[in-house]
């Protein structure tokens, strides 16, 4: 059975809850959400106003769940939502929204607009109105196992490289390990130093850890497309793995939506709480730092700033840890304006970076990030999300800015002295 | 003037009366003299006073008009050919006096009416000599030069007209449409207001300037509120909360105790009562609004203008209905949501395509 | 209908109707919104002091970093007229009498000149935000008939009430009747328009704060 308007409408009716009803009833059209959204501020086009991105859902809510709305529909004063309308809204719901959540924190009446966009995507995806780029990523994640099409052999190859380079074993499928480490395709393909960094850190901290052959991918394209059924398929692989290997904590990598998907939506997708903890790698590093298990040497010499990934900081609640870690290895760490909780999105989260036709818009929106950099003029930018890294690199290149972007975990690991390689027995 | 002197009214006090009256009506100074001369010289015009569904309070009030001997002045200046309370005759003789006065002065007499006119039971609720007030009014009005509707009952229907109006009471102007009518409302009207309007008519042969409710602007042109000596307290927000609290004793504004001064047009605040002795607000009681139409039905005398005029009858019921409808709607909503959930078709990859 | 009769009608029948519709509407709307419920959040919570629904109900009244400078008229105009309305409605002696009749208890008010001052500021603020809604592209884009209508519903009671006390334009009796009538219109339409945010703002902020508080983020 194929996607259809009827299906989309049914899904929306299912997901509309009291919060959404309350939010729609509270909006006073003040427009402050637009002022918080980089897609509006950098383009000046009012159609990108966050609450406007939800207009079809608002009308549907009114027509289905309010007495007045039902009456209006009956007498023809309120038009039904059409497929064409949803198609028109695709750009607003996907291309120009990274689920960064800034709108949700500025709305004076308390509307959680990003929550509503997330729910609207359920209907959009079920009615066949999700962008082609994210559909592709979702397809690859579900069928192959990763949005970039990375398969186990590729992972194993990277494992071997890292073992050789760092002289540390990379465990896989080790039952009873304390930590199950997840990766994102980005890291496997573009930033393999991440795996080595994990190995060094775990080794120094004396913690047991493992990868899993059936669940190495943390990126959840189902989340980005906004479809709980698909997101559940992806999450359940991780949950099964964690339970099979009886780990205490699953570590989500430097990826934004992977963390949100597993840490905050995971249990709700599965319909039950987990028997294990979920932590972002930055949280784990923060814990190690507090417990004295993380010992670094030396400092970076150049001027550094930190870009807070939206899903980690504002949407995930991990804000202080990265700063403590930065200060551990840098004496020249400067904060951008609006850093931390109110940081501006890189422009590529929530699946946006997978939408080819949205690239021009993203480059426009990147001017906001650029302005933050221009304000502090760093030598390098540090962050903790592989997607942010790629998106920022692309944006910086577009604007001819020579500004390297690095990952925090790797930077920390760089300051951990290399381990003494224990020679295997009998060699 | 000889007649006046006989009654102990000196020329001096007569002139004083006329000038006082003229200034009270905001007429130019010369008018006072004109009034005196007119009243002294005139052939006493015929005045017929018909009492209908009334309490006689208006008659009582006019007899208190200012100087002690003023009633005899008026009764000597005009020829009061018919007034049931005050005339000596009664029964057939009184009715004969009425018929004669009408015949002798047809087209020229001034008709004063107090009390409302009941229409219920074919007018049988109020009769004089076996005839309904309605019939009497229609007949006597035919020969009147002008009609003075004295008091709120004649002017607007008054207390008989108040809810539920069992007698079907109406005002004079509801019945008579083809004669000039001046309304002098008040329950009762201020004595000197009544005599002042008569004096105006007698002097100038016409009714004074009237507002859109037919009331002489000279006396009814301003609200009590706009002339009230306690106004400064209203403007500051200093209100007496009970009749005996400190605010009341300090003479603060009586708005909260139900004063209808802001919506009432009358001369009480300036002309006052009892020969200028005092008036309700000065005595510590809020204005009742007695010179306004339907003031009996305008909510309690003791409820401020900002309070509901009547008990809110349907509010409790509406709340119950709202809760009931709300609960019903929530059941419908939840059922709809559950149905959508039950009909959920798990999305698989192909389902992303239309 | 005479002036006083019109006033008596709005003070009597009109008020009864308006408050009845208002109460009915508020109850239906509250139930129709909040009965939809919310699924329990099964994710392991992160408890951080200051991050909760209740906290957000209050904290959301403070403009987030950078926003006040970005949109001063929205915030300042909005605050002035909201606070102004509270002062006028709840601290003006004649209005307190009204509530006393409804609720059975009262409270001290402000001097009438202070309320008059608040009314003038409120009128100016409302005009300012109307102008802002017309001139700012985002607000103009979002605005529908309802936005202009509810502005008028809010503005007219303040204007007519102030004009009544000041004895401007129309005789007091009529001005007062118009004032009460515009209040009745406001009451009748409040539950069915965006004005209902007066009730739902608490729930919305609470939900937002709770969802984020679950993650340890103080919004």
What are the pLDDT digits (tens) for A91-107? Answer: 999 999 999 999 999 99
Domains of chain C, start order: 3-214 (1.20.950)
Cβ atoms within 10 A of the Cβ of A58, count? 20
ipTM of this complex prediction, to 2 decimal places: 0.96
Mean pLDDT of A273-300: 95
What confidence tens digit (pLDDT) does each residue in C46-81 have? 999 999 999 999 999 999 988 999 999 999 999 999
pLDDT exceeds 70 at position A405: yes
pLDDT of residue B4: 66
pLDDT at B2: 63
- Chains in contact with A via at least 3 Cβ–Cβ pairs below 8 Å: B, C
CA C196 to CA B265: how far, in whole Å? 40
Mean pLDDT for the stretch of residues C1-23:
93
Residues 35-74 of C with CB under 8 A from B: 35-37
Percentage of chain C modeled with pLDDT above 70? 100
Is the pLDDT at B88 greater than 80, yes or no? no
pLDDT at A427: 42
The mean of the pLDDT values for chain B is: 89
C35: which chain B residues are within 8 Å (Cβ-Cβ)? Answer: 326, 329-330, 333-334
Q: How far apart are CA C171 and CA A422, in angstroms?
A: 100
**What does the alpha-carbon distance between residue C147 and residue C139 come to, in Å, rounded to a whole number?**
10
Neighbours of A327 (CB within 10 A): 12
| Average pLDDT for C99-126 | 95
Phi, psi for B293 (deg, rounded to 5): -60, 140
- In the numeric block, the tokens 């038009």 are attached to A79
Burial B100-129 (b: 16+ CB within 10 A, else e): ebbeebeeebbbbbbbbbbbeeebebbebe
The whole-number average pLDDT for the span B176-201 is 91
Question: What pLDDT score does B354 carry?
Answer: 75
**Which residue ranges make up each domain of chain A?**
5-129, 135-291, 304-414
Looking only at the bridges linking them, the beta strands covering A380-383 and A304-307 are parallel
Residue of A nearest to B345 (CA): A7
Q: Give C219's contacts in chain A (Cβ within 8 Å).
A: 104-105
The whole-number pLDDT of residue A426 equals: 47
Q: Give residue ranges of A with CB < 8 Å to any B CB.
A: 1-4, 7, 10-11, 13-14, 16-17, 64-65, 67, 83, 125-128, 130, 135, 138-139, 142-143, 225, 227, 229-230
Is residue B159 over pLDDT 70? yes
A·C CB contacts under 8 A: 177
Residue B348 has a pLDDT of: 84
Nearest-CA distance from A264 to chain C in Å?
5
B334 at C interface, C-beta within 8 A: yes
Q: Which CATH class is domain A5-129?
A: mainly alpha
C209 reaches A (C-beta below 8 A): yes
Confidence of residue A1 (pLDDT cuts 50, 70, 90): very low
pLDDT at B33 over 50: yes
B122 touching C, CB under 8 A? Answer: no
Q: Take residue B150 and report the two structure tokens written for it.
A: 């004295």
Q: Is the pLDDT of residue B41 over 70?
A: no
Tokens read off for A128: 């066949």
pLDDT at B25: 82
- The pLDDT value given to residue C159: 98
Flag if C217 and A316 touch (Cβ within 8 Å). yes
- Which chain A residue has the Cα nearest residue B347? A229
**pLDDT tops 50 at residue B67:** no
**Which residues is B216 bridged to in the sheet?**
B210
As a whole number of angstroms, the distance between CA A73 and CA B86 comes to: 74
The domains of chain B are located at 2-220, 224-297
Q: Which pLDDT band holds residue B352 (cuts at 50, 70, 90)?
A: confident
Predicted structure pTM score: 0.89
Per-residue pLDDT averaged across A6-10, rounded? 93
pLDDT tens-digit profile of B256-309?
A: 999 999 999 999 999 999 888 999 999 999 999 999 999 999 989 999 999 999
- pLDDT tens digits for A25-78? 999 999 999 999 999 999 999 999 999 999 999 999 999 999 999 999 999 999
The strand pairing partners of B223, in sequence order, are: B265
Q: Do B295 and C97 touch (CB under 8 A)?
A: no
Residue of C64, C132, C193 to mutate, interface with A, max A Cβ within 10 Å? C64
Selected from 1.20.140.90, 3.40.50.150, 3.40.50.700, 3.40.630.10, the CATH number assigned to the domain covering B2-220 reads 3.40.50.700
Q: Check A227 against B347: CB less than 8 A apart.
A: yes
* Mean pLDDT value across residues A190-200: 87
**Among residues 96-155 of chain C, which lie with CB inside 8 Å of chain A?**
133, 136-144, 147
Q: Express each pLDDT in C31-50 by its tens digit.
A: 999 999 999 999 999 999 99
Mean pLDDT calculated for residue range A404-421: 88
Q: Determine whether the interchain pair A13/B347 forms a contact, defined as Cβ–Cβ distance below 8 Å.
A: no
CATH superfamily of B224-297: Cytochrome-c3 hydrogenase, C-terminal domain (4.10.480.10)
Render pLDDT for B238-255 as a digit per residue (tens, 0 to 9).
999 999 999 999 999 999
Average pLDDT over residues B214-235: 95
Is residue A253 within 8 A of residue A194, CB to CB? The reply is yes
What is the assigned CATH class of domain A135-291?
A: mainly alpha
Q: Is C32 on the interface with A (CB under 8 A)?
A: yes
pLDDT confidence of C22, banded at 50, 70, 90?
very high
| pLDDT the model gives residue B70 | 47
B223 part of contact set with chain C, CB < 8 Å: yes
Examine the pLDDT at A422 and tell me if it is beyond 60.
Answer: no
Cβ–Cβ < 8 Å for B147, B172? yes
Both structure tokens of C130: 């109307």
- Residue among A25, A47, A278 minimizing CB distance to C196: A25
Tokens 């006052």: give the residue: B272
**What are the two backbone dihedrals, phi and then psi, of residue A223, each rounded to the nearest 5 degrees?**
-65, -45
A381-400 pLDDT, tens digit per residue, is 999 999 999 999 999 999 99
More confident residue, B87 or B188: B188
- Given pLDDT bands bounded at 50, 70 and 90, which one contains residue B76? low
Q: Which of B309, B321, B337 to mutate to test the interface with C (most CBs of C within 10 A)?
A: B309
Contacts of C173 in chain B (CB under 8 A): 262-263
Residues near A387 by beta carbon (within 8 Å), at least 6 away in sequence: A184, A186, A255, A256, A257, A309, A346, A348, A349, A353
Query: Chain A within 8 Å of C6 (Cβ-Cβ)?
Result: no
Q: What is the pLDDT of residue A146?
A: 80
Q: For residue A278, is pLDDT > 70? A: yes
Q: Render A52-114 in DSSP notation, one character per residue.
A: GGGHHHHHHHHHHH-HHHHHHHHTTSSPPP-HHHHHHHHIIIIIT-----HHHHH-TT---HH
Q: Does the domain spanning A304-414 belong to CATH 3.40.50? A: yes
> Cβ contact (<8 Å) for C208 and A110?
yes
What are the chain C neighbours of B293 within 8 Å (beta carbons)? 2, 4-5
């Amino acid at each position: 059975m194929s996607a259809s308007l009827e299906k989309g409408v049914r899904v929306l009716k299912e997901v509309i809850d009291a919060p959404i009803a309350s939010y729609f009833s509270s909006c006073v059209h003040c427009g402050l959400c637009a002022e918080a959204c980089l897609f509006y501020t950098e383009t000046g086009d009012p159609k990108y106003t966050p609450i406007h991105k939800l207009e079809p859902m608002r009308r549907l809510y009114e027509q289905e769940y309010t007495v007045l709305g039902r009456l209006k529909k009956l007498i023809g004063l309120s038009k039904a939502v059409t497929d064409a309308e949803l198609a028109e809204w695709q750009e607003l719901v996907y291309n120009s929204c990274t689920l960064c959540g800034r709108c949700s924190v500025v709305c004076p009446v308390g509307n959680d607009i990003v929550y509503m966009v997330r729910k609207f995507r359920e209907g959009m995806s079920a009615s066949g109105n999700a962008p082609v780029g994210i559909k592709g990523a979702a397809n690859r994640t579900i069928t192959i196992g990763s949005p970039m099409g990375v398969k186990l052999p590729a992972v194993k190859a990277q494992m071997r490289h890292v073992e050789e380079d760092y002289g540390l074993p990379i465990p896989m499928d080790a039952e009873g390990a304390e930590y199950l480490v997840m990766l994102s395709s980005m890291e496997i393909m573009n930033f393999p130093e991440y795996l080595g960094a994990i190995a060094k850190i775990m080794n120094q901290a004396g913690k047991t850890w493992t990868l899993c052959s059936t669940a190495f991918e943390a990126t959840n394209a189902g989340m980005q497309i906004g479809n709980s059924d698909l997101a559940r398929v992806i999450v359940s692989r991780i949950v099964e793995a964690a339970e099979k290997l009886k780990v205490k904590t699953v570590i989500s990598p430097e990826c934004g939506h992977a963390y949100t998907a597993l840490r905050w939506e995971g249990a709700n997708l599965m319909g039950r709480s987990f028997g294990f903890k979920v932590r972002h790698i930055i949280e784990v590093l923060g814990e190690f730092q507090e417990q004295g298990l993380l010992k670094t040497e030396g400092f970076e010499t150049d001027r550094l700033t930190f870009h807070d990934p939206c899903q980690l900081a504002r949407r995930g609640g991990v804000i202080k840890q990265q700063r403590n870690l930065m200060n551990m290895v840098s004496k020249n760490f400067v904060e951008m304006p609006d850093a931390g909780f109110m940081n501006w999105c890189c422009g590529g989260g929530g699946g946006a970076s997978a939408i080819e036709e949205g690239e021009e818009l993203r480059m426009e929106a990147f001017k906001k990030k650029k302005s933050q950099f221009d304000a502090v003029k760093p030598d390098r930018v540090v962050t903790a999300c592989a997607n942010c890294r790629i998106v920022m690199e692309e944006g910086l290149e577009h604007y001819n800015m020579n500004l390297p972007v690095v990952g925090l975990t790797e930077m920390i690991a760089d300051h951990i002295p290399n381990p003494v390689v224990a020679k295997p027995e009998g060699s | 003037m000889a007649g006046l002197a006989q009654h102990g009214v000196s020329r001096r006090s007569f002139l004083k009366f006329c000038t006082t009256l003229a200034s009270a009506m905001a007429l130019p100074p010369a008018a006072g003299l004109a009034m005196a001369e007119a009243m002294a010289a005139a052939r006493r015009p015929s005045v017929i006073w018909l009492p209908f569904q009334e309490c006689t309070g208006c008659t009582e009030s006019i007899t208190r008009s200012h100087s002690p001997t003023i009633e005899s002045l008026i009764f000597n200046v005009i020829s009061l050919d018919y007034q049931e309370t005050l005339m000596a005759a009664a029964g057939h003789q009184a009715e004969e006096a009425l018929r004669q006065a009408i015949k002798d002065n047809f087209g020229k007499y001034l008709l004063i009416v107090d009390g409302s006119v009941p229409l219920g039971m074919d007018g049988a609720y109020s009769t004089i000599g076996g005839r309904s007030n309605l019939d009497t009014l229609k007949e006597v009005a035919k020969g009147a030069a002008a009609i003075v509707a004295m008091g709120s009952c004649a002017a607007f229907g008054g207390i008989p007209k108040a809810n539920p109006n069992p007698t079907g009471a109406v005002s004079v102007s509801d019945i008579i449409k083809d004669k000039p009518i001046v309304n002098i409302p008040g329950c009762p009207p201020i004595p000197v207001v009544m005599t002042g309007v008569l004096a105006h008519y007698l002097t100038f042969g016409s009714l004074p300037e009237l507002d859109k409710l037919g009331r002489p602007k000279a006396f009814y042109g301003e609200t009590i509120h706009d002339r009230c000596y306690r106004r400064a307290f209203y403007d500051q927000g200093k209100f007496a909360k009970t009749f005996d609290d400190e605010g009341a004793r300090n003479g603060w504004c009586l708005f909260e105790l139900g004063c209808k001064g802001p919506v009432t047009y009358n001369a009480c605040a300036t002309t006052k009562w009892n020969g200028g002795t005092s008036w309700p607000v000065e005595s510590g009681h809020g204005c009742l609004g007695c010179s306004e139409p339907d003031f009996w039905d305008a909510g309690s005398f003791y409820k401020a203008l900002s309070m509901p005029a009547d008990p809110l009858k349907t509010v409790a019921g509406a709340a119950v209905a709202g809760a009931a409808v709300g609960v019903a709607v929530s059941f419908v909503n939840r059922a709809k949501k559950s149905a959508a959930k039950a009909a959920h078709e798990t999305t698989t990859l192909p389902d992303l395509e239309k | 209908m005479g002036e006083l009769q019109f006033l008596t009608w709005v003070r009597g029948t009109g008020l009864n109707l308006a408050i009845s519709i208002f109460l009915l509407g508020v109850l239906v709307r509250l139930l129709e919104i909040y009965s939809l419920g919310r699924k329990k959040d099964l994710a392991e919570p992160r408890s951080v002091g200051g991050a909760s629904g209740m906290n957000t109900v209050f904290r959301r009244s403070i403009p987030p970093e950078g926003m006040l400078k970005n949109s001063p008229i929205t915030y300042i105009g909005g605050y002035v007229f909201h606070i102004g309305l509270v002062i006028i409605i709840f601290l003006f002696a004649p209005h307190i009498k009204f509530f006393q009749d409804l609720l059975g208890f009262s409270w001290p008010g402000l001097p009438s000149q202070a309320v008059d001052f608040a009314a003038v500021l409120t009128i100016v603020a409302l005009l300012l935000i109307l102008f802002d809604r017309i001139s700012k592209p985002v607000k103009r884009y979002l605005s529908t008939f309802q936005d202009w209508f509810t502005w008028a519903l809010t503005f007219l009671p303040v204007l007519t009430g102030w004009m009544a006390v000041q004895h401007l334009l129309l005789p007091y009796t009529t001005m007062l009747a118009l004032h009460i009538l515009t209040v009745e219109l406001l009451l009748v339409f409040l539950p069915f328009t965006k004005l209902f945010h007066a009730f739902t703002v608490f729930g919305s902020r609470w939900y937002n704060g709770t969802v984020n508080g679950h993650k340890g983020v103080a919004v």
